């Protein structure tokens, strides 16, 4: 039986070699027990129903349609198994996929580009974050949303400094202030100052660690198509 602090994870990926490679990568970390590997959304939903994993790592496109089966499965899992977090992996740095995933809420959901699979620490962090009910958004996706929304001088994003944008990207990955300090080599007081400035400039209320990602995402996706 897995230790209490070991994540029980189900992987959904139709490419067998990729699926087994990710399984080995995660299990070699000593922090993850992959309890099932599935090749399509139907098998994924069945595995979640039978095994009640802590988290799911799923490809965005799977049989039969190779469209957005991973996103549809993620929504279904969050509805029927709210204690199971889901990280969706995609090859596409297209913010529309991320917005589709988070359209009905961001709690317990993550969207990462497949390039992140090579960074085990980031991947395990994302799985732990969604398990705890938090949200994780790939920095490249945040960059695209930021660029789109800050294009107009009237956008509050245009008022953010380069360092505040750096902090915003870290926040979108679900990182606490302490995690941001380590990533950006900043002091505690400096991070707190930047975070407060971001919430003030974006006119967002101060929220908890997990909810602040949802708040930032809600701002970024608001009028994202304009």
CA torsion, points 4, 6, 11, 15, in degrees to nearest 10? -150
On whether the CB atoms of residues 105 and 130 are closer than 8 A, the answer is no
Residues 6+ apart with CB under 8 A from 13: 19, 22, 37, 39, 58, 59, 62, 89
Q: Give the Cα-Cα-Cα angle 155, 100, 95 (nearest 5 degrees).
A: 50
pLDDT in tens, the chain (226 residues): 444 589 999 999 999 999 999 999 999 999 999 999 999 999 999 999 999 999 999 999 988 877 889 999 999 999 999 999 999 999 878 788 888 898 888 889 999 998 888 889 989 999 999 999 988 888 888 888 777 777 665 778 888 899 998 998 888 877 889 999 999 999 999 999 999 998 888 887 766 666 777 777 767 766 454 4
pLDDT of residue 132: 92
Of 189, 209, 186, give the one whose Cα is nearest residue 197: 189
What are the angstrom distances between the C-alpha of 31 and each of 91, 112, 121, 173?
A: 25, 19, 10, 19
pLDDT of residue 209: 65
pLDDT of residue 153: 59
On whether the CB atoms of residues 57 and 9 are closer than 8 A, the answer is yes
Tell me how far apart the alpha carbons of residues 196 and 202 are, in angstroms, rounded to a whole number.
Answer: 10
pLDDT of residue 207: 67
Tell me how far apart the alpha carbons of residues 153 and 207 are, in angstroms, rounded to a whole number.
Answer: 27
Global confidence as pTM: 0.80
- Cis peptide leading into residue 177 (ω within 30°): no
């Amino acid at each position: 039986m897995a230790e209490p602090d070991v994540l029980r994870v189900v992987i959904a990926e139709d490419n067998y070699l990729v699926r087994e490679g990710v399984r080995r990568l995660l299990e070699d970390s000593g922090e993850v027990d992959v309890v099932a590997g599935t090749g399509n959304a139907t098998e994924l939903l069945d595995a979640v129903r039978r095994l009640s994993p802590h988290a799911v790592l799923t490809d965005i496109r799977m049989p039969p349609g190779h469209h957005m089966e991973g996103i549809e499965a993620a929504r279904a899992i969050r509805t029927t198994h709210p204690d199971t977090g889901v990280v969706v992996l995609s090859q596409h740095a297209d913010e529309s996929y991320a917005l589709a995933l988070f359209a009905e809420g961001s709690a317990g959901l993550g969207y990462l580009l497949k390039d992140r699979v090579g960074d085990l620490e980031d991947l395990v962090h994302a799985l732990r974050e969604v398990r705890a009910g938090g949200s994780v958004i790939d920095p490249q996706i945040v960059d695209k949303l930021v660029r789109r929304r800050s294009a107009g001088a009237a956008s509050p994003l245009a008022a953010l400094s380069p360092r505040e944008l750096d902090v915003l990207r870290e926040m979108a990955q679900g990182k606490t202030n302490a995690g941001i300090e380590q990533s950006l080599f900043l002091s505690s007081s400096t991070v707190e100052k930047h975070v407060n400035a971001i919430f003030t400039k974006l006119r967002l209320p101060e929220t908890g660690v997990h909810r602040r990602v949802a708040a930032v995402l809600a701002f970024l996706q608001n009028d994202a198509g304009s």
